[in-house]
Amino acid sequence: MQRLKDKITSEGRVISDGVLKVDSFLNHQIDPALTFDMGKEFASYFKNKNVTKVLTLESSGIPPALTTAMELKVPMVFAKKQKPMTMKGDVWVERVYSFTKQIENEIHIGKSFLSPNDRVLIIDDFLAHGEAALGLASIVKQAGAVVVGIGIVIEKAFQEGGGKLRDAGFDVLSLARIKSLTNHTVEFIEE
Ligand code: G4P
Ligand code: NA
Ligand code: NA
């Protein structure tokens, strides 16, 4: 997605350890028009998959997941990192290890929001090690539903997440794939 790559080039900042800071349009401040275009791209690519629900993880996955769901005219569900006190009992829980933060987090989804009839499109802002997407996919499977695809805004293709997800058989669309972040420069995989 050229518009996204241009935005990353102009506003992204490479910080230590292969981390790309994109706080000005994806992780803190949000660019609504660009986020709508992301939704259109995901919806167009996955339009024949009969998606019934878009699933993401709070917080930064929510904007692109919402615009995708709006375009596909289906609900959007976001997994919560804290178990809300109003969520009693019927909750799917999965442990997700964050390599970036080196801690294990739990993610929670109320059981009433996923049914065995669901065809789920997972959306997330970043793909690094793939743990978040795999955790979400594991809950979808426990619910008896099916993951029909995974949409990622920015894939760090030099880390193993993309390979893990594709090897597991998932149809993954990344809107921007980064080949390297060395020398404080963003280099994309051209496709
Ligand atoms: P993984 O899910 O692919 O295994 O990723 P990892 O543990 O490495 O990532 C943990 C958090 O860091 C996630 O956000 C993820 O989106 C984010 N992240 C990973 N690599 C980068 C990067 O290069 N740049 C930025 N800006 N973020 C990155 P989170 O903790 O869930 O936070 P939130 O922003 O969704 O609230
Ligand atoms: Na993030
Ligand atoms: Na995220």
- The 10s digit of each residue's pLDDT in 101-159 is 899 999 999 999 999 999 999 999 999 999 999 999 999 999 999 999 999 999 999 99
Domain boundaries, the chain: 32-178
Give me ligand 3 centre to Cα 60, in Å. 5
Cβ–ligand 1 distance for 104 under 6 Å, the answer no
pLDDT at 164 over 90: yes
Cα–ligand 1 centroid distance for 126 (angstroms): 6
Query: Which pLDDT value is given to residue 83?
Result: 81
Residue list for the binding site: 20, 27, 128-132, 156
Ligand 1 contact, 161 CB (< 6 A): yes
Q: How far is the CA of 177 from the centre of ligand 1 (A)?
A: 15
Angle ∠(8,41,37) on CA atoms, nearest 5: 60
Residue 27 CB–ligand 1 contact under 6 Å: yes
Per-residue pLDDT at 87 exceeds 90 = no
20-67 pLDDT, tens per residue?
999 999 999 999 999 999 999 999 999 999 999 999 999 999 999 999
Residue 17 contacts by C-beta under 8 Å, 6 or more apart in sequence?
none
What integer pLDDT is reported at residue 77 of this predicted model?
98
Q: What is the mean pLDDT of residues 69-79?
A: 98
Q: From its phi and psi, is residue 86 left (phi > 0), alpha (psi between -120 and 50) or beta?
A: alpha
Question: What local confidence, expressed as pLDDT, does residue 13 receive?
Answer: 97
| pLDDT confidence tier of residue 89, bands split at 50, 70 and 90 | confident
Ligand 1 pocket, residue 62 CB under 6 Å = no
Full-model pTM: 0.96
ipTM of the complex: 0.92
**Cα(79) to centroid(ligand 1), Å:** 15
pLDDT at 64: 99
Ligand 1 atom with the smallest distance to the CA of 127 is: 3
CATH fold, domain 32-178, is Rossmann fold (3.40.50)
Higher pLDDT among residues 100 and 160, named by residue:
160
Residue 85 pLDDT level (bands cut at 50, 70, 90): confident
Q: Would the CB of 162 count as within 6 Å of ligand 1?
A: no
SS (H, E, C) 116-169: CCCEEEEEEEEECCCHHHHHHHHHHHHCCCEEEEEEEEEEECCCCHHHHHHHCC
